[in-house]
Each structure stands twice: as C-alpha cells, then as structure tokens.
A and B are shown apart, each in its own frame.
Chain A
Amino acid sequence: MKPNTDKEEKYLLDVRAISVFYEAIQATWDVWFTVREGSVTALVGSNGAGKTAIMKSISGILPTSEGSILFMDQVLDRLAPHERVERGISLVPEGRKVFPYLTVQENLEIGAYSRKARKRLNQTMAEIFELFPPLAARRKQLGVSLSGGEQQMLAIGRGLMSMPSLLMLDEPSLGLAPIMVKLVFEIIEKINAEGVTILLVEQNVRQTLQHAETAYVLETGRIKLKGKGSELLENPHIKKAYLGL
C-alpha cells in the first residue's frame, strides 16, 4: 500500500517511510502512517512485526535510518528523547518499565520532569490519583511492590504526567488478567475523551480494533493494511490471521 496523499486532513503525527534497525538487524521497512489529532489510532500485528521498534523510534530511543517523522508539522529526526517529551510525545513502554525502587509518588513526580510539566506537577498528580484510585492508596509504596495491573496504571499515569498531546501505549494489555485488560481499554477511552490523542500498539487485535478509529496492520516490518477499526474487524485476512475465525 502507498501513503495516502489526502492533503486536507491535519495530522498530529506523520510517519513517513521510516526504516528502523535494532543494532544491525532491520526491524521495519518504509513504514508510513498518520495519527489524526484527537483520535485513537492503532498499530496491530503479531509478535516481532516491528511495532515496538516503531514506538521507540518515534520517542527517539532508536534512530531511524531512513524516512522522517513529523510531529505537529515539525521534523523530529534529530531530537533527543527528552526533547520529544518536551514537545508533547509520551511513550508508555512495553513491559511498563516502572522505576522499581522509586515510590509510586516519586514515579509520578519524575514523569513530570520536563520543564513545562513541572509547573503543574501537583494538579496533574491529583488528576492521576483521581483516574487511578488504587495508586493513591499506595503512593508511599515502591514500584516493585505493585501488582502487574497496578504497575500498568502507574506506567500510564507516569506517561500522562508530562502532559502529552500524543500518548503512545506499547502493549498495555500484555500479561494482564481479562478484567484488567477491560479496565485498561476503558481508561484509554477516558484519556482520549480528555483530548489526548492516542497511538495504541497491541497484539490483542480484536479489542484494539473495537476501540480504534483508524488502524494499521504491520506484518514483518511493513504496513500491510489500513482501515477503520470496525472495517478491519470484518476483513477476511484479519479474521483468518488474527481473530482465529
């Protein structure tokens, strides 16, 4: 498939034909996709399709060897990770990566490390505790002592502390009990309703497509399909390959 050239739409994030390498191994080829402001956009695909590599390159952890990433119409390519956070991009990484020996409260505080977020630290933290009441009850506990679901809440809360305009979530449902998975998706909708644009990466294809406005299917490092979430749910290839139907 080719990138759509529809010039009328305004994109918050515009990924243009990027190739990403993990050290010497190429993970993606010419990946392009766009994220409309205010949307929930999903990137789905099986394990090893290159989803995490793309997330890491958008946040600046991995360099892109080809192509370009635009955020709010500005090229990100040469910016360090912390500069991208300052501009409003936040990644909730795969495996949560909560700071194990910082308390819940410290984890959130450090989430607001960027200059602009630090000014509103206390208000944002109060909002996060409202969104995740279990975290408020455990604010003095170390990150390592939380359950998987609580760690995911903390990771999302930490990601929100930087007051992002784009929140990227890498496999937020991985390893969680079904009831927690449901809760995570509800929370994502809530955050989106507050005006935060969401880019969601998931292996949990069915639930993701139900929630996504637009979804891209990534297979072995290339974008294979694009469509509305609801349409892709009916796509024969998706049904066969990802939904087991």
Chain B
Amino acid sequence: MELTRILQILSAGLIIGGIYALIAVGLNLIYGTMRLLNIAHGELIMLGAYVTYWLYTLYGVSPLISMILVSAFSALIGLIVCWSIFLPIIKTSKSAAVLESNSLLIFFGLSVIFSNLASLLWTADIRGYSYMTKVFYILGVPLMHNRLLAFLVAVVVCILSYLLLQKTMLGKAIRALIQDREASQLVGINARFIYIFSFCLGFAMAGLAGCLLSMFYEITPFMGLPYTIVAFIVIVLGGLGNIFGSLMGGFLLGLLETIGVSLTSPGLRPILSYSIFILIILVRPKGIFGRGVY
C-alpha cells in the first residue's frame, strides 16, 4: 500500500477515535461515580446533533458557537434527569443490585422517549448540512476542515477532562469516589454534588460529540444507538471506571475499526467492533489497562 493511503487510514481512524474517546469518557464518568450505565447516552448525541442542525439551518448559528450552547443544553438535561430521577432512586434503592436494574430500565425508557420524541417532532427524515467542507492536504492526505476541527475539539476536551481529573481537587474527589464511595464520604467529599457534577459533565460531553458528528454525518432520530454501543465497547476496552483507559480505548477502537474496514468492507464494521469486545471480555475482562491507571 502506498504511504498516502496508509496516512489517510490512520488520520480517519484518529478522527473517529477522538470522538469515540469523547463519548466513552462521558459514559464512563457517570458509570464510575454512580455505577449507573447510561443506555440513553447515544440519544444525547442525537439531540446534540439535532440542536446544532436546527440552530444552523433555521437561525444561521455557527456550529462553533453551538458547541458551547449544546454542551450547556445537554448538561442542563443531565441536571434535570439526575436531580428528578436518579438522586431519589439512589436514596430509595435498598441495594446496589436493585439500583442497577432499576436504572437500566429508566435509561432504556429515556432512550426510547428521546428518540421517538425526536422522530415525532422532526420526522425520521435523514438530515444534514454542510459546514467547513473545504479540503486541504497534509502530507498529500486530503482532509476536510470540519473533520480536523472535530478531531481537535475532541482531543482538547479529552485532555482538559484528563487534567481536571488528575490535577484539581474536584478531579481527585471524583477519582476517590470511583475507587471507594464510603471512604470518600469519610474524608468530607459531598457525594451528591459529585454525582450531579459527573452526570452533567458526562451528558455535556455526549451532546458535544453530537454537535461535532453533525458536521459530517447524517442526522436521524435513531442515530444514537450505535454510539451507545461503541461507548460500551470502549469503556470495557479501557476498564470500567478507568477514565484514562477510555481515552486511550477510544483512539484504539477508532484506529482498529478504520484499519479493519479499509482492509475488508464497511459492512463488517459492527462485526469487527463486537469481535474486539468479545475478545477483550475473554482475554482481559478488566480492560487493557486493568484498574490500575485511574
């Protein structure tokens, strides 16, 4: 294979990998701190994409500005959902097992409501818009501006969230809570606040991912599910509750998928991801990085 072709595949893998990382870090934050698996994560992506689309087509709001608006909007949805549904059921659930099964059902319900609401409001038509579609060349590899932008934003947000977790007291509190909930309360961490914060941050990251994806992928009410599944695969790949692992796992899955697809055919993408998923569960059920690198 010629060099430009290889570079092209690698760049495509990194671009989609950055978005996978963004999606997976958001999901893993909520799972790690609250032990709640957000099945509706992909629907937040879908909503983020629609909001960006409507703001752009109806009011001419640049997707660059929408990135901020959509993140804030998604965080607000997170706040409402967390405060009105999950804090009460955490309080009333008799055991972790009950909480886990209840929360799965609730998230499943939310995902059905969100996607059908979107289909009702905006019909199931496939939508899209073009923005920053100019092509430029790096080392002979053609790249569209919007993809490069999406990649850069995803990477910057991932690095910022990593720094937040590593360097700030709030981030250390989040990690402490992931590692030992009871001990974290004993050192004076307000668990309720951390739950709400992680929930909002996780939702905001999903919304932002939707905004980025809308610049170059089509938007439908049911676009979310594949991304939820991708996020699951990535957090298993990187280790449950291991945020750093999700970051790396996102890029890894993006690269593996793109390389695999370019060697075979696009139709095999899901088979490829599921094979990686099953392989990880069989060989390294704790994820590539185990639980060692929080």
Contact = CB atoms under 8 A, between A and B. Distances in A.
Interface of A: 23, 59-61, 80-82, 85-86, 90-91, 93, 97-102, 106, 109-111, 113-114, 117-118, 142, 158-159, 161-162
Contact of A23 (B94, B172, B173, B188): B94
A102 B69 CA distance: 34
Nearest to B294: A101
Q: Which 10 interchain pairs have the tightest Cβ spacing? A: A85-B188, A97-B183, A114-B188, A81-B185, A101-B294, A113-B188, A82-B190, A82-B188, A99-B179, A110-B176
B82 to A, nearest CB: 17
A142 B294 CA distance: 11
B182 A110 contact: no
Nearest to B182: A61
Contact of B189 (A59, A109, A110): A110
Given A23-B94, A100-B179, A158-B187, A110 B173 contact: yes
Contact of B187 (A80, A100, A142, A162): A162
A113 B186 contact: no
Contacts of A99: 175-176, 179-180, 183-184
Contacts of B172: 102, 106, 109-110
B156 interface: no
A85 B294 contact: no
A91 B188 CA distance: 10
B175 A113 contact: no
Given A99-B176, A109-B169, A110-B176, A81 B186 contact: yes
A91 B186 contact: yes
B187 A118 contact: no
B204 to A, nearest CB: 24
B182 A113 contact: no
Most buried by B among A59, A97, A101, A102: A101
A61 B191 CA distance: 11
Nearest to A59: B186
Contacts of A60: 185
Contacts, number: 79
Contacts of A106: 172
Most buried by A among B183, B186, B291, B294: B186
B185 A113 contact: no
Interface residues of B, number: 24
B144 interface: no
A102 B176 contact: yes
B132 to A, nearest CB: 40
B293 A101 contact: yes
B179 A162 contact: no
Nearest to B186: A91
Nearest to A81: B185
B169 A118 contact: yes
7 contacts: A80-B185, A81-B191, A90-B186, A97-B183, A102-B176, A110-B176, A110-B189
Interface in B190-205: 190-192
Given A101-B292, A110-B172, A113-B169, A93 B187 contact: no
Given A110-B173, A118-B169, A86 B188 contact: yes
B169 A101 contact: no
A101 B186 contact: no
A60 B185 CA distance: 9
A102 B188 contact: no
A97 B180 contact: yes
B187 A110 contact: yes
Interface in B213-232: none
A93 B182 contact: yes
Given A113-B169, A114-B188, 13 more contacts: A61-B186, A81-B186, A81-B191, A82-B191, A93-B183, A97-B186, A99-B176, A99-B180, A101-B291, A102-B179, A106-B172, A109-B172, A142-B292
Contacts of B180: 97, 99-100
B98 to A, nearest CB: 11
Given A82-B189, A106-B172, A111-B187, A101 B179 contact: yes
Nearest to A117: B188
A75 to B, nearest CB: 20
B175 A97 contact: no
Nearest to B179: A99
A102 B294 contact: yes
Contacts of B179: 99-102
A113 B187 CA distance: 7
A26 B95 CA distance: 17
Contacts of A100: 179-180, 291
Nearest to A168: B186
A176 B236 CA distance: 36
A85 B173 contact: no
